[in-house]
């Protein structure tokens, strides 16, 4: 019996993954106690760092001035989308439906604004304090001075990405003045590469999948001690940057009167690629908001890397290519064959479960969101909608009038209009 056959015997849903059949996987370890390497204190340390950088961010990125440099997205109730959703599904959604619109986050227009920009800030602070004279009590707007620009120009930032992490890291690092290099896989959209080059970022294109690109980028960065490599497969700083979302979401719940308790469950649907950003967000949700908020990851049937890793408990020791999948998907941000080194391990007791979807469905929901609410997201950002029906069918407690469903829209506001029209037309044809 080969390894794949033994996995099929031990975990029967692996066969469905191999066949590209959409599944809903419930995590058997959900809710158990576990010792985690991060804490609530780590999240609030990150919040404090964001606060220290506020004067710099507001000055460097004027679009953040209205929010006083807080990098946050709106929580939008989707009343029209909910009605349209109910018309096309056998099981009606009776709870509230919301969009956490990270597609509208300032600077880089995606969930990666949280982790990617945060890690660049932390690196800049480290350089400014150890090689310059920055103190925590200073006005961080001084980091825009010629002296600090000159200092930062002596250092580099490097990252590998299918797209959105590249945008957040590339735009932030180049704004500080770091020599910025982005390695991109063949899945990356042309407009994202063009945007980076327009910001002075060196874009290295490799005709291979993301899991093959990242070791090459890591190796290149290791050759120069002045280059900071932002590791999408295992960065603690990225992870904690994403987790800060929970602090802000709790404030939005309070403001919008959304209850979270035993009788008022909140279900959050998060697209997953390498798994770093949804895992960071989920860690934050469970740490800050508590046991009655439940996260479900959503992945393409051709690239269910986090689902496969967690289901088999092999985590990053297995890739989708090991079970015969091709790793190809229209959801460019989710085209990652091997999961993060830390995602599965940290999510073992925190993730409720995951859902896999066929590519055409995301175009359908993307178009429906545009038609009903006039909100634009990129295809991968509509992935959360694909999990709702299975979740409320298989977990009746999730389909009560007191439940709240939040689809986490991970990117889209920076898409060119031509790209939006093409995607919308695909979705309209399916509707």
Range of the domain at 160: 108-234
The pTM assigned to this predicted structure is 0.96
- Percent of the chain, pLDDT > 90? 86
Q: Which two tokens stand for residue 183?
A: 């390695």
Distance CA 176, CA 49 (A): 16
Q: What is the dihedral of CA 131, 134, 136, 139, to 10 degrees?
A: -150
* 25-39, 360-374, 409-423: segment of lowest average pLDDT: 409-423
Distance CA 101, CA 83 (A): 19
Q: Would you state the pLDDT for residue 4?
A: 78
- Percent of the chain, pLDDT > 70? 100
Nearest of 160, 158, 171, 228 to residue 197 by alpha carbon: 171
Could you give the angle at the alpha carbon of 12 between the alpha carbons of 6 and 13, nearest 5°?
120
| Domain final residue, candidates 234, 255, 287 | 234
Examine the pLDDT at 151 and tell me if it is beyond 90.
yes
**Band of the pLDDT at 3, cuts 50, 70, 90?**
confident
Query: pLDDT of 202-251, one tens digit each?
Result: 999 999 888 889 899 999 999 999 999 999 989 999 999 999 999 999 99
Residues 252 and 388 in one domain: yes
Residues 75 and 198 in one domain: no
Distance CA 102, CA 106 (A): 9
Q: Would you state the pLDDT for residue 188?
A: 84
Examine the pLDDT at 1 and tell me if it is beyond 60.
no
**Band of the pLDDT at 2, cuts 50, 70, 90?**
low
Nearest of 79, 55, 236, 231 to residue 160 by alpha carbon: 231
Q: At what angle do helices 417-430 and 359-373 cross, to 10 degrees?
A: 110
Q: Would you state the pLDDT for residue 189?
A: 86
Helix residue ranges per DSSP H, 163-321: 164-176, 190-198, 210-222, 236-243, 245-256, 276-284, 305-312
**Band of the pLDDT at 416, cuts 50, 70, 90?**
confident
Q: Calculate the average pLDDT of the chain.
A: 95
User: Mean pLDDT, to the nearest integer, of 294-301?
Assistant: 98
Residues 91 and 137 in one domain: no
Q: At what angle do helices 164-176 and 190-198 cross, to 10 degrees?
A: 0
Question: How many structural domains compose the chain?
Answer: 2
Q: Would you state the pLDDT for residue 114?
A: 94
In a domain, 44, yes or no: no
Q: Would you state the pLDDT for residue 257?
A: 98
User: Mean pLDDT, to the nearest integer, of 103-127?
Assistant: 95
Query: pLDDT of 49-108, one tens digit each?
Result: 999 999 999 999 999 988 989 999 999 999 999 999 999 999 999 999 999 999 999 999
| Domain final residue, candidates 213, 234, 255 | 234
Sign of CA dihedral 272, 158, 49, 378: negative
In a domain, 270, yes or no: yes
Residues 89 and 173 in one domain: no
Residues 316 and 224 in one domain: no
User: Mean pLDDT, to the nearest integer, of 330-348?
Assistant: 92
In a domain, 284, yes or no: yes
Coil/strand/helix, residue 403: coil
Residues 314 and 196 in one domain: no
Residues 211 and 293 in one domain: no
* Burial class of residue 399, CB neighbours in 10 A (0-12, 13-18, 19+): buried
Distances (CA, A) of 152 to 132, 256, 316: 10, 42, 34
Side-chain-side CA neighbours of 316 within 13 Å: the count stands at 18
Distance CA 386, CA 307 (A): 15
R_g (Cα) of the chain, nearest Å = 21
What is the separation of C-alpha 152 from the centre of its chain, rounded to a whole number of angstroms?
A: 27
Query: pLDDT of 183-195, one tens digit each?
Result: 998 878 898 999 9
In a domain, 256, yes or no: yes
Residues 197 and 286 in one domain: no
Query: pLDDT of 350-374, one tens digit each?
Result: 999 999 999 999 999 999 999 999 9
- The answer for residues whose C-beta is within 8 angstroms of residue 317's C-beta and 6 or more apart is 309
| Domain final residue, candidates 234, 257, 282 | 234
Q: Would you state the pLDDT for residue 332?
A: 82
H/E run at residue 354? strand 353-357
Q: What letter would DSSP give residue 317?
A: G
Distances (CA, A) of 283 to 84, 243, 299, 345: 32, 6, 19, 12
Residues 258 and 140 in one domain: no
Q: Please, are residues 109 and 375 in contact by the beta-carbon 8 Å criterion?
A: no
Q: Which two tokens stand for residue 51?
A: 């606060």
Residues 249 and 222 in one domain: no
Transcribe 83-94 into DSSP letters. Answer: HHHHHT-SS---
Residues 176 and 31 in one domain: no
**Band of the pLDDT at 163, cuts 50, 70, 90?**
confident
Residue given tokens 């690109």 in the structure block: 213
Residue given tokens 């066929």 in the structure block: 358
Q: Which residues are bridge partners to 98 per DSSP? A: 77, 406
């Amino acid at each position: 019996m080969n390894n794949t056959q033994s996995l099929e015997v031990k975990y029967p849903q692996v066969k469905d993954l191999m066949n590209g059949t959409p599944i809903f996987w419930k995590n058997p370890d959900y809710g158990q106690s576990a010792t985690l390497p991060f804490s609530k204190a780590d999240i609030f340390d990150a919040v404090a760092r964001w606060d220290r950088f506020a004067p710099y961010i507001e000055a460097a990125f004027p679009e953040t001035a209205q929010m006083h440099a807080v990098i946050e997205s709106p929580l939008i109730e989707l009343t029209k989308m909910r009605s349209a959703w109910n018309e096309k599904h056998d099981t009606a959604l009776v709870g509230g439906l919301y969009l956490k619109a990270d597609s509208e986050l300032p600077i880089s227009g995606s969930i990666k604004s949280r982790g990617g920009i945060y890690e660049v800030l932390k690196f800049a602070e480290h350089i400014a304090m150890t090689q310059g004279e920055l103190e925590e009590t200073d006005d961080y707007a001084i980091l825009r001075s010629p002296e600090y620009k000159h200092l930062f120009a002596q250092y580099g930032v490097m990252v590998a990405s299918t797209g959105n992490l590249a945008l957040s890291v590339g735009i932030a690092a180049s704004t500080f003045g770091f020599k910025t290099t982005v390695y991109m896989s063949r899945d990356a959209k042309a407009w994202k590469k063009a945007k980076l080059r327009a910001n002075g970022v060196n874009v290295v294109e490799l005709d291979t999948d993301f899991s093959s690109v990242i070791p090459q980028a890591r190796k290149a960065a290791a050759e120069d001690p002045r280059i900071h490599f932002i590791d999408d497969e295992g960065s603690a700083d990225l992870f904690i940057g994403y987790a800060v979302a929970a602090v802000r979401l709790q404030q939005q719940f309070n403001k919008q009167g959304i209850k979270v308790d035993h009788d008022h469950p909140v279900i959050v649907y998060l697209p997953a690629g390498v798994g770093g950003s949804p895992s960071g967000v989920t860690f934050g949700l469970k740490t800050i908001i508590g046991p009655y908020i439940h996260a479900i990851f959503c992945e393409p049937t051709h690239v269910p890397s986090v689902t496969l890793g967690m289901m088999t408990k092999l985590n990053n020791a297995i890739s989708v290519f090991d079970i015969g999948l091709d790793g190809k998907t229209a959801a460019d941000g989710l085209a990652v064959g091997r999961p993060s080194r830390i995602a599965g391990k940290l999510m073992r007791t925190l993730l409720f479960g995951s859902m896999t979807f066929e590519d055409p469905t995301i175009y359908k929901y993307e178009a429906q969101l545009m038609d009903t609410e006039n909100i634009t997201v990129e295809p991968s950002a509509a992935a959360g909608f694909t999990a709702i029906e299975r979740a409320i069918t298989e977990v009746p407690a999730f389909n009560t009038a007191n439940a709240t469903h939040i689809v986490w829209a991970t990117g889209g506001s920076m898409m060119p209009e031509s790209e939006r029209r093409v995607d919308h037309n695909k979705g309209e044809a399916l509707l």
